[in-house]
Chain A
Amino acid sequence: QSALTQPASVSGSPGQSITISCTGTSSDIGGYNYVSWYQQHPGKAPKLIIFEVGNRPSGVSSRFSGSKSGNTASLTISGLQAEDEADYYCSSYTGSSTNWVFGGGTKVTVL
């Protein structure tokens, strides 16, 4: 069982917006603005797409956005495209001996 809780799957049609939630505790998501999101296509390494809750690395599409409220972080993908079909993982730094925790991953399907 992962430390952070994500829905197992989310789906949407091309052009739609979807949101993936990531629920933790006050010891991780709620306690730090060190929430990041990673995209992973099958057989590939994870790729950083959001850091510090809502910042995008250079080169990542503006269709990806992140936010946080209390102990829950969210990733929104707007204008859904076929290439967005992948697994998405949230992560939070904890500042404790655990250091980093991940969510169990959400499979995004483009219908």
Chain B
Amino acid sequence: EVQLLESGGGLVQPGGSLRLSCAASGFTFSTYGMSWVRQTPGKGLEWVSVISDSGVTAYAESVKDRFTVSRDNSKNTVYLQMNGLRAEDTAVYYCAKLTWNSGRIFDSWGQGTLVTVSS
């Protein structure tokens, strides 16, 4: 069974930094892309970033140059380093397993970790 467990969320002041982690199990982590998707309270979903199995990365315009996604295949973990945080980054952040060859889909999701940016 695929399991994704996010951690690292919390309260941070505007301009601050946080690093989210997502520990994966139940599949061959190194052969899958991983993505981060966020959900603002009471609102919809927004794709944030992706890292391919080979380490190629991409970001939404809203977080480009502020967020960095990385992965450690030896630890089956994907990370999201968030710098220069803004109030509008407040959201629940989900990591999701990406299956590229069957529709570019997020076929498993973690339970999410809440990031609150406020003074």
B103, A34: Cβ atoms closer than 8 Å:
yes
**Does A72 sit at the interface, judged by CB under 8 A?**
no
Chain B nearest CB from A88 CB (Å) reads 11
**Given A45-B94, A45-B110, A98-B60, A51:B47 Cβ within 8 A:** no
**Does B105 sit at the interface, judged by CB under 8 A?**
yes
- Chain B residues with Cβ below 8 Å from A55 are 102-103
B94, A57: Cβ atoms closer than 8 Å:
no
Chain B: CB-nearest residue to A103: B44
**Does A64 sit at the interface, judged by CB under 8 A?**
no
Interface centre among B35, B60, B61, B105 (most CB of A within 10 A): B105
- Give Cα distance in the complex from A47 to B94, angstroms: 12
- Chain B residues with Cβ below 8 Å from A52 are 102-103, 105
User: Which residues in window 51-96 of B have CB below 8 A to A?
Assistant: 58, 60-61, 94
Contact of A105 among B45, B60, B109 (CB under 8 A): B45
Interface residues on chain B, size class: 20 to 34
Chain A: CB-nearest residue to B94: A45
**Given A45-B94, A102-B47, A104-B44, A97:B112 Cβ within 8 A:** no
B109, A45: Cβ atoms closer than 8 Å:
yes
**Does A36 sit at the interface, judged by CB under 8 A?**
yes
A51, B44: Cβ atoms closer than 8 Å:
no
- Give Cα distance in the complex from A89 to B39, angstroms: 12
Chain A interface (Cβ within 8 Å of chain B)? 2, 33-34, 36, 38, 44-48, 51-52, 55, 57, 89, 91, 93, 97-105
Chain B interface (Cβ within 8 Å of chain A)? 35, 37, 43-47, 50, 58, 60-61, 94, 102-112
